[in-house]
Chains A and B, each alone.
Chain A
Amino acid sequence: MARKAFGGVSDTNRGYTLVICEKPEAARRVSDALSRGTTRAEQVDGIAVFKFSRSGEEFVVCAAQGHLYGVSDPSDERAVYPVFDVEWYSTDLLNEDSAYAARRISTVRKLAAGASRFVNACDFDVEGETIGYNLLRYACGGKEKEALRAKFSTLTEEDLVKAFEDMKPQQGLGLARAGRARHAIDFVWGVNLSRALSQSALGSGHRFRTVSIGRVQGPTLGFLVQREQEIREFVPIPYWKPSGVFESQGRKFAAGYVDERIETKRSAEMVREECLGKEAVAIAVRRNSVQVGPPVPFNIGDLQKEAYRVFGYTPSRTLQIAERLYLGALISYPRTGSQKLPPSINYKEILQGIGRIREYSLYADEVMKTGPMPVQGGKSDPAHPAIHPTGEKPKRALDAPEAAVFDLIIRRFLAGFGPSARRELADVSLAVEDHAFRLSGGRTVFSGWMRYYGRYVGYKDVDIPPVSEGDRFRVVDVLVEEKFDQRPTRYNQSSLLEKMEKEGIGTKATRADIIATLVGRGYVSGGSMEITDLGLSVVEVMARYAPAIITTSLTREIEQKLEAVEREGAGEAVLLRETVRSVTNQLAELSTNEESVGRGIDTALMGTAAKQFVLGKCPVCKTGDLRIIRSRATKKRFVGCSNYSSGCRASAPLPQRGTIKTTPRPCEHCSWPVIYVMGGRRPWRLCVNPACPGKKP
């Protein structure tokens, strides 16, 4: 059978078809799939491009490397604001680390000169569409409207061939318009407010430091600060929780008092007094069987949350790993909001592929025999299905995190086809005169989908003794435990991502990066997500002078309007005008109160700087602080006491490489400060005292 031409036939007399992919690895995969292994890899100005013929047509495939264009203002003066004149520039002009962009753009420009037809084959979502649109518009001489669009959700040969056979023009212009509008709005929002804050701090005498705030950063920081306030001002209230120990025929078991919380010590003691030496009667035994359905397929948020729960990976790390698996054609496109697996992904073929991997073969065979129909979640995404394996085996050795996430995705996919599990739950009520105790437990009696999901299943078995109504037991003891209210827990990266999702701020593609930015800016510490003084002060200043910036309503409203631009392919100009108006109002408030704003930020910056340099109390003079000092003569850093001028000569050398992080607890052997030195493969814990008795000779 003759091969179908890709998107009709180009005018081959005029030139070749130029295909633009989002990443170099994707370009190689697209070429290999479409050429069936006849690709010729060539270098154009040091950039790899791939060439092949198919049905008499010539194709050249090249790649961006993420965004090659970004927005900025023509002045690019960090002291200047407001800035509303936004233009697109190649990213090498905006960022020293993006020098590669100029070479890639130059290569695309050269290739575009010989092309008669253009194909945007970047990832089909807002960011991918924007990357492709910008290259077609700026590097290919305004081809963004006539270019064809190849849409695919996996980088497997079958999907890619189908995508190129079905490609059509004008498929993603709404996404591109929304994407470009998002970049412009976020720039206007972020650059103006950040410059206003930074300049206020500078005016207050502090040396320049970027104090940034963004459209989504602001409310996200607001969530963290609100929670931190609740934690830091928390006062626990005491309460008591009795539990009984019961015995019958030599078998003992414990059961909790039916009231979870007894407010006074006296009442709790009375429970003990009134129950001891008495007999308990099982007044109700309820056993029931419940069906537990399989978990819904992963969208990116679900995957990030589950990988955090089971592996402790941060959302941004999970996203990076998932993208590598996607580029290896092992899983479908991960930046999806969908929890649905449509039949068009071809369940049977994927299951056959998974079945060829030894550890899943048994499960895949089982699913195939039952006539596969997976569970579907409630959320959908018009661009991509839920994250699923492609059925391909890894062609290279995966590193441990990649293997872990790959296993999680395969098992989740298999679990979705499994039958419901069945759990038997038991609930026993015991009466000791007027007091009631309760015992609950449950166990899985039919594992169903849980077998496929394996170690990731969250249900645990809790056995309870066989008890029938009317059974009598001796009260052996009643323990009265004093308890205190637990203070709220801090967000972790996963629960913060969930909160952002729930509040409708950010996108599935940007949320993880926003959290990483808050850590990078020093507003929160990375591990515990504890807010820093700087983060607290930024929110404090915003709450007083520009409260809209840290509330969710404005940001959510803009997200909704951007979604409308995506759907309708219009309306971005109005939205940009509204943003300018809103930012102007916020700036006016900040400007009127510049001095107070500056003082607030400045105090926090000073406190942050001081904390970074102080390692802890001096164990020699007991009153000074041990600080990091840099020698003027040698430029080397070392530890010295703040009481040096008063005669304290405590000092110690420090590693000259790596970032130093302080720890709150001094060394258990010598009471000198303990630090972590970051920079190598793993943080290195070190007592700064060279004569510490805890150090091995």
Chain B
Amino acid sequence: MKCSLCEREAASGLCQYHEAAKAKVELAYPSWVNAYGRMEWKDYLDNVKRNVQTGQWAKEIAEFLKGD
């Protein structure tokens, strides 16, 4: 099975790298909510995707999760 976001092998939808990036994106959400007081999940994903510091795999995951 191929990763939904790249050509790598995936056990369940995402390869190990995108799976790790997904965990990081999900883990950071509460910190963003706390930082701004409130933030919707989709707005958060938009912000993560646009941020220049966000890594390539995390950006791809943000885009992917936004489409869910």
Contacts and interface: CB of A to CB of B under 8 A. Distances in A.
A107 B51 CA distance: 65
Contacts of B53: 234, 236, 484-487
Interface in B27-57: 27-28, 31-32, 34-37, 48, 51, 53-57
Nearest to A487: B53
B7 A233 contact: no
A263 interface: yes
Given A232-B56, A232-B58, A600-B9, A238 B36 contact: yes
B22 to A, nearest CB: 9
Contacts of A233: 17, 20-21, 24, 55, 57-58
Interface in A578-614: 599-600, 603, 607
B66 interface: no
Nearest to B36: A265
A457 interface: no
Contacts of A235: 24-25, 27-28, 48, 54-55, 58
Contact of B34 (A231, A263, A603, A607): A263
A580 B9 CA distance: 32
A540 B55 CA distance: 19
Given A229-B17, A599-B9, A600-B9, A239 B54 contact: no
A231 B17 CA distance: 11
A484 B36 contact: no
Which of B16, B27, B51: most chain A Cβ within 10 A? B51
Nearest to B39: A238
A236 B9 contact: no
Contacts of A265: 35-37
Interface string B4-19: 0001110000001100
Contacts of B55: 230-235, 487
B17 to A, nearest CB: 7
Nearest to A264: B35
A323 B48 CA distance: 49
A400 interface: no
B34 A236 contact: no
Contact of A603 (B8, B31, B37, B58): B8
Interface in A237-291: 237-239, 263-266
A455 B27 CA distance: 46
B58 A234 contact: yes
Contacts of A487: 53-55
A237 B8 CA distance: 28
Which of B37, B55, B57: most chain A Cβ within 10 A? B55
A524 to B, nearest CB: 16
19 contacts: A232-B55, A232-B56, A232-B57, A232-B58, A233-B20, A233-B24, A233-B55, A237-B32, A237-B35, A238-B31, A238-B35, A263-B31, A264-B34, A484-B51, A487-B53, A487-B55, A540-B16, A599-B9, A600-B9
Name the 3 nearest CB pairs between A and B, nearest first: A234-B55, A233-B21, A236-B53
